[in-house]
Chains A and B, each alone.
Chain A
Amino acid sequence: MSVTTLAPILRPLVKTPPRDVAGPAFTALTGLAAGLIVLMVAIILGNVAWFGAGTMTWEFLSGTPKHGMTAGGIFPAIFGTAALVILMVVALVPFGVGAAIYLHEYARPDAWLTRAVRFSVSNLAGVPSIVFGLFGLGFFIQFVGRHIDRMAGLDVVWGQPALIWAALTLALLNLPVVIVTAEEALRTVPRDMREASLALGATRWQTIRTVLLPQAMPGILTGAILSVSRGAGEVAPILFTGAAYFLPYLPTSPTDQFMELGYHIYVLSTQSPDVDATKPLLYGTVLVLLLLTLLLNLTAILLRARMRARLAGRA
């Protein structure tokens, strides 16, 4: 079998010209492509840092938008983003970690249910974010919210865009991230530990709670942080499920609407009455969002690197 599979792969080798001039050129081209990516990342980050740094004042971070968004600060957007991602993580992590535990510790790999779950997870990760927005509107607001209102005899409280619906929409969007990272974390725990725990008479759940979860905690944390970073940056899913153009008050209940950093960037850059006056505020908002998401990502990357190093050390 090895002859038949290897032959077509290795075939071109024989045809390789003894003296090749294209080699160095090709190698340089690949390096150029990598350099191009680095250059563009540097340009974007440099541009935002350069023009955004001047706006980073305490007044900007703690103030509210004024004069039709041509002055003032972005505190309501920061607050709204924080409220959104906190609600999202609270709803998301138990489900995501539970699913990962089931997939890695309970399910037989070839059972149809396991396959269905894995198929759903990988395809859920590929659903466009705007479709999540449609889903949030069609399911959470028009279906769930309307029914709650009708059953409680309320006017329109739940059946409208709200913080809770935006958070739940984002939670579903980020479910694959948490499941995949948590499962990867469970994989780093050696089989001996499970065997030792079970041999001592612990039940499955006792093994998971006292042995596996503490060991897998960095990985679970990585997933949670990644989902927060992604949740803070996604705008399309919250366009119709709860984000507000401008609010004079902060959200205090899950049924309130909210301002959000990413949505604020979209609003400032496309609907400003005075583009030049808005520009410093726009750059400032972008810088805040970038710092927030990149710092979260950095933390996640470092945690994951430590986890993978541990795994490699065992292998």
Chain B
Amino acid sequence: MAATPVSSPAVAPAAIPLRPLVHGARPRSLRVREAVIDVLLRLCALSAVAGLLLIVVFVLREALPVLLDPETRREASLERFFATAMWQPVGDVPKYGIAPLLLGTLKVVLVAMVFAVPVSVLAAVYASEFAPARVREGLKPVIELLAGIPSVVLGFFALIVLASWVQSLTGAVSRLNALNAGFALGLGIVPTIFSVSEDALRSVPRSYREASLALGASRWATAWNVILPAAGAGVSAGILLGLARAVGETMIVLMASGNAAMISGTPLDSVRTLSASIAAELAEVVVGSPHYATLFFLGGILFLTTFVINVGAGLFVDRLRRRLAGA
């Protein structure tokens, strides 16, 4: 939900702020107060930088024993994560094979993207190119409504209602599976992909449409051959932001995927994702244990993955902005 305003590609760069010209004429107390406030506001702005840095430092700090501490590495180390295909962190001989978690995350995210990308992008094209003004005005609040539904509610819906439908449609043995979780996850990322794509499509200058239509192209040919390619960078940014959300989303997959860590090729089997493992296990582990460090390490993987995807999305947004500014 937050990704929507933050990534809006249509935001114009800010002008250089105004500052008063005369400073010396003011009373000293006033000047001191201004300087203090200047520093305070700067600190507020720095809190965002500090927050991001602290997240990196403290997730790393708790995960570091996996790489450095010999005691922890006897149970959980990078080699051991891939030495076994089993994720059994609780037991006499704990096994920390993360392959099933990686595969599980991949499967759920794949299902979500296969469903959400075409639906969101096509709906965005509809809203920006074809929909009558009144329909568009009605569609946007519905998307905002969907964005406002907490993920725990989507997880609940997938667990209680959707799972039964999916099972009776596919005949899956396990009621909670990757297909079910992926579908609900897809619903969760539709608003992100839709809003960013629609913003990008609408920021394509009117002259593009006019030129295309004047050459005799139909409305759909204009949308498909002119508008969509012109807004391509923005649409890509939307898809990447949706992907990052899907990888990191927790409550939906925790509730709807069945949480069985196993290696299988079909989306109809139950899966356990990286995020769901952290959510399900961290509350019970001993602080400082190998299991604890491993879960923070998984968090580090999630952070890094989503960070890289988000930076990529940012690059696409910049490209769109430059392209439209140059046109």
Q: Which residues of chain A have a CB within 8 Å of any CB of chain B? A: 1-2, 5-6, 9-10, 12-13, 16, 18, 20, 22-24, 26-27, 29-34, 36-38, 40-41, 44-45, 47-48, 94-99, 101-109, 113, 116-117, 119-135, 137-139, 142-143, 172, 174-177, 179-181, 184, 187, 191, 194-195, 198, 202-205, 226, 229-230, 232-236, 239-240, 262-263, 265-266, 269-270, 279, 282, 286, 289-290, 293-294, 297, 301
Contact = CB atoms under 8 A, between A and B. Distances in A.
Contacts, number: 343
A102 B42 contact: yes
Interface residues of B, number: 121
Nearest to B304: A131
A34 B5 contact: no
Q: Give the residue among A123, A265, A290 with the most B Cβ atoms within 10 A.
A: A123
Contacts of B106: none
B83 interface: no
A101 B47 CA distance: 13
Contacts of A107: 17, 45
Contacts of B126: 27, 30-31, 33-34
B66 to A, nearest CB: 14
A122 B55 contact: no
Contacts of B302: 128, 130-131
B299 to A, nearest CB: 4
Interface string B99-124: 00000000000000000001110110
A16 B117 CA distance: 25
- The dominant DSSP class at the A interface is helix
Given A26-B220, A34-B139, A121-B6, A235 B151 contact: yes
17 contacts: A37-B146, A95-B47, A98-B45, A106-B17, A126-B245, A126-B309, A129-B249, A135-B59, A138-B59, A172-B55, A176-B2, A205-B33, A230-B2, A232-B150, A266-B152, A290-B149, A290-B150
B259 to A, nearest CB: 9
B59 A105 contact: no
Contact of B5 (A33, A133, A180, A289): A180
Nearest to B19: A204
B260 interface: no
Contact of A117 (B40, B45, B153, B156): B45
A95 B43 CA distance: 9
Listed residue (B1, B26, B131, B143) with the most chain A CB atoms within 10 angstroms of its CB: B1
Interface stretch (B68-76, B87-95, B279-287): B279-287
A184 B33 contact: no
B205 to A, nearest CB: 11
B275 A128 contact: yes
A1 B254 CA distance: 52
Nearest to A140: B58
Given A191-B18, A269-B255, A294-B145, A235 B59 contact: no
A13 B215 contact: yes
